[in-house]
Structure 1
């Protein structure tokens, strides 16, 4: 009996502690939200100021409300971050803001894709067109950071710092040997010579076809990368290649020698330089405002009819999905509302997705097709708009991508794990069953391989879905299915290559897509509205905390290896036939 009361007391105490902690957590959220509301008016920007930009944080497509902004809460972080949308719009606002005289760019590590990086770079170049200055300074420049810094009027580097410039690379983690040791066989059914999403699970190295496509799109991306830097720094492309190929930038002095930076200096010397530019007394601080806090509005704010910008980012999944992915049902419902809204005269679909469920992709594509009959719909592609991401784009009136965008990957696959070796030989687990027909357990028995007849059935469905996919692309792009198949087969293309083979209509970011949509709708005055509506911080906290905490635990335990576990989990959890980009592509 004594032990019973001991356990009861311990349980009650535990519950009490949880309730108290939750109470203080909610109070903290409310107080944090109230403090944001009280400071939501325009930030006090000093006159004669510089806009400080570091971008030393993750850059999602859109800024999301963080209820723990500034608090070190697991899963939410303690660093403020901005989405690509706000970074670009705030730079544009600073261009028109008479209080802002220039930009102090302080990039070291920029955590975003090459296409998103190009949009930020273009915004900085547009800022310079106003006659205002940009000065870049860092202790160390990664290649992505330098790609941004190259637009500056002057680039400075710490005397003991470094500038990495050695070419682009992209690697793939292959898991077959590890799966073999576990006794797990991945059974693959696919269409497309280049559809290599399944390769990490069935091979230990790239197939020749995959190596061919990776080399082609990486070189295309690299040409654009070098051309943009060459244009900004007036260094010939051949010289840039020579420096990278021979790894000549080994210290700060060599960065000056090869004209990648203008001078080396310490931070105090930089501040003195900025004070001279701004005509500020040496004893005073440099007047500045961080882009994280700057909320200046462009004086060219538009009014009138609406253009709806709809963000589609993350994996494409069946059902409702969540804020971090594209749920087929939820997203098609959003498009349906906009199609029926007479105030909305055109739609811009911003796609940043590696694909996912073929079924969900088709559901969304149907709404795109119906919307196109009522009002113009234009696609703007981000870092990725491949496989299912291209599926949902194909039927739009026009498609725009950056040269660095990865798109195409028109192909489908099915991946059926066979855990027989793991269950029988490693764990000693055996399943037995009864069934009413030959195919009652098709793809539901994890401890046996597919029979030849079952594999033929699945292959037939994969072929059918691929036929539907290329048919939608042929319809949208107004070319034959044979032509689509010749550039399909799962092959990944950059935006530059896609422009050449007819998969996209033009090169440019979301601003160009908005202008194209306005032109198609014959609009001169319009207001841009963004969808889906961002949830309030408290709703977001209640809805996504579990996923955030799980991601934080994985990150804390596995660090850089987390992405491989996430990749394996995403593929093995995916049901139905998939239209997905080959693995996770990260360019370094």
Structure 2
């Protein structure tokens, strides 16, 4: 009885605290949104002579600004707004054509993005320089991905006491097996694919040799492509770039960076105005005028008056996962149907940045894409990751582009069923079951699976894997045997996938748009981004609830919150999954 009251009062307290936190966060959200809406009423700025496009690379890069991103920007306590790749690319295009803009100033300031997104941004800057204009960059502490972007600049400036973290690539895998064993949780797994490593953290205390092989393969491939790109921009050989990584660049000084060719000038931030003034050819008291990406993106909209459209659809995040900003297969399918019915849209570019997710959601999306393709060309542009379920929804496209550093493939499936029976015993819980049929309480968190149940789950996984192979075979015009050799859950880079036939060509979103126009046989068109913007109130409520849960989780679990968060994701998985490991970060 004492234990019962303990749990009851704990639940009541949790409910009261959660309600209070949610109310507080909701009020904070409303205040933040109100101030953001007032401050963000954007009056178009006239571009003056001797102007410079100032790109302040700070915060996290997203694909495109959605309702969620707008809300997060509104709530940013330090007035730092996350940037979108879409708006940066658009601003750079406008700056290239505007006769009053002399060049671009990249201010690097704790910027986070995937390597393929960084490459996409690099390509936009390289295209800008083809106009004869210049790019300058400045940073205090420059991370490896930031340097990868900055390396396209004509002049790289660093703080006289700044640092560059050029170090090579790694991937760290977090393993939960021992932790779960301690608390009394085990996992039953059914999978197909010896390289399908998403389940390994729950089963083992070290990664398999197959997983080690594939990680080594793709990080080496990405690293080689990064070094080739830096060599083309800075003229430092691949061999020397490898040596510099092994020398430990964090311990070196800007003087040594200059000698190695990594930077050009060591200067404090206050000196940049004078440097840019000279570059613009300005004399006397006059100063350069700065515009940001918002000023130029608002100008680009004035020219979009054409009748024919190429639509860009975004598939970003987990498919039917637990993340707030993932892909809802239901909403995505509705969006596809609207695009199909819109007669002004003559072709579609599907931008995918997804590790996959629900096999059932991916199949629904595949079906709608297939129906759309019968009426309009569908060209896929892969971002940082388009793997497993992310590749499933790409495989039947008319044409597929990826960056050489994109992570793709991972043609494999799995299912996880947690067993918390031992944990229940530890806390004094027991269960009695009354059922009408043999499998009425399958699956159950309170017990392990019987051999029959394991067989049923494995058959379901096998059937979906066979369907995955078949979809890829039809979509890529390859035999199922050829696909099977590339499958088994193995992750490939864009470079590797292009050689094997999993994708058609190396390229970014601009190349995808150009290809879509050719397939649709149109020359005069406008590009329209199709973004499913949710209502403000719906977005507010969703984030207030999620923030309250996160706050409580961190309060209860402290430093172990990340483990709890991963366990929550695992618990909420529904059915068979097509997805890559939970945290697929390469840095």
Instruction: Give the whole-Å Cα distance in 2 for the aligned partners of 1:279 and 1:554.
Output: 56
- Mapping 1:313-352, distance limit 5 Å: 313-317=316-320, 324-352=325-353
- Counterpart of 1:317 in 2: which secondary structure? coil
The structure in which a higher percent of residues are helix is 2
TM superposition shift of 1:29: 3.7
* Cα deviation, residue 282, structure 1: 6.3
Aligned to 1:482: 481
Q: Tell me, which stretches of 5 or more residues in structure 2 are unaligned?
A: 1-18
How far apart are 1:510 and its partner, in Å? 1.1
SS of residue matched to 2:111: coil
Alignment of 1:35-74 (within 5 A): 35-36=39-40, 39-65=41-67, 66-67=70-71, 69=73, 72=76
TM-score, normalised by the number of residues in structure 2: 0.90
Q: 1:395 to 1:70 in 2, by over 3 A?
A: closer
CA distance in 2, matches of 1:63, 1:350: 14
The answer to whether the 8 Å contact 1:403/1:495 transfers is yes
Q: Which stretch of structure 1 is more off in the superposition, 247-256 or 413-422?
A: 247-256
Question: Quick one: structure 1 residues 555 and 184, their matched pair in 2 at CA, closer, same or farther if it must change by over 3 Å?
Answer: closer
Structure 2 match to 1:6: none
Structure 1 residues 148 and 24, CA, compared in 2 at 3 Å: closer, same or farther?
closer
Residue by residue over 1:100-151, the C-alpha shift from the partner in whole angstroms, topping out at 9 and shown as x without a partner, is 2111112143211111111111011111111111111111111011101100
What is the distance in 2 between the residues matched to 1:322 and 1:180?
26
Indicate the SS of the match to 1:326: coil
Matches within 5 A, 1:457-496: 457-496=456-495
Structure 1 contact 381–401 (Cα < 8 Å) conserved: yes
Which residue matches 2:86?
Answer: 85
Range 173-182 or range 336-345, more displaced: 336-345
Q: Distance in 2 between matches of 1:258 and 1:557?
A: 49
Aligned residue number for residue 431 of structure 2: 431
Shift of 1:243: 1.3
Paired residues, number: 565
Deviation at 1:267, TM superposition (A): 2.1
Counterpart of 2:275 in structure 1 is 273
Q: Report the secondary structure of 1:56's partner residue.
A: strand
1:153–1:33 CA distance, 2 compared to 1 (3 A): same
- SS at 1:307 equivalent: strand
Listed one character per residue, the Cα deviations across residues 456-514 of structure 1 (whole Å, up to 9, x for unaligned) are: 11101100000011100001001111111110000000111110111100111111111
Segments of structure 1 that go 5 or more residues without pairing to the other structure are 1-14
Residues 97 and 371 (structure 1 numbering): CA distance in 2 closer, same or farther, change over 3 Å? same
Tell me what 1:5 maps to.
none
What does 1:188-267 correspond to in 2, within 5 Å? 188-248=189-249, 250-267=252-269
TM, length-normalised to structure 1 = 0.90
Measure the CA separation in 2 of the matches of 1:167 and 1:153.
23
Q: Distance in 2 between matches of 1:103 and 1:553?
A: 44
Asked if the contact 1:107–1:138 (Cα under 8 Å) also holds between the matched residues in 2, the reply is yes
Q: Does the 8 Å CA contact 1:163/1:251 hold for their aligned counterparts? A: no
Instruction: Report the 3-state secondary structure (helix = DSSP H, G, I; strand = E; otherwise coil) of the residue aligned with 1:109.
Output: strand
Q: Which residue of 1 aligns with 2:6?
A: none
Where does residue 306 of structure 2 map in the other structure?
Answer: 303
Alignment CA distance shift 1:34-1:72 (3 Å): closer
Q: Deviations over 1:137-171 (max 9, x none)?
A: 11111101110110000111111111111111111
Contact residue 346 and residue 521 of structure 1 kept, 8 A: yes
RMSD over aligned CA atoms reads: 2.7
CA distance in 2, matches of 1:354, 1:515: 26
State the distance in 1 between where 2:20 and 2:162 align: 52
Shift in alpha-carbon separation, 1:354–1:67, aligned structure 2, 3 A = closer
- Determine helix, strand or coil for the equivalent of 1:140: strand
8 Å CA contact retained: 1:385, 1:405: yes
> What CA distance in whole angstroms lies between the structure 1 residues aligned with 2:24 and 2:454?
56
Greater shift, 236-245 or 337-346, is seen at 337-346
Query: What are the residue-to-residue correspondences of 1:354-373 with 2, within 5 Å?
Result: 354-373=355-374
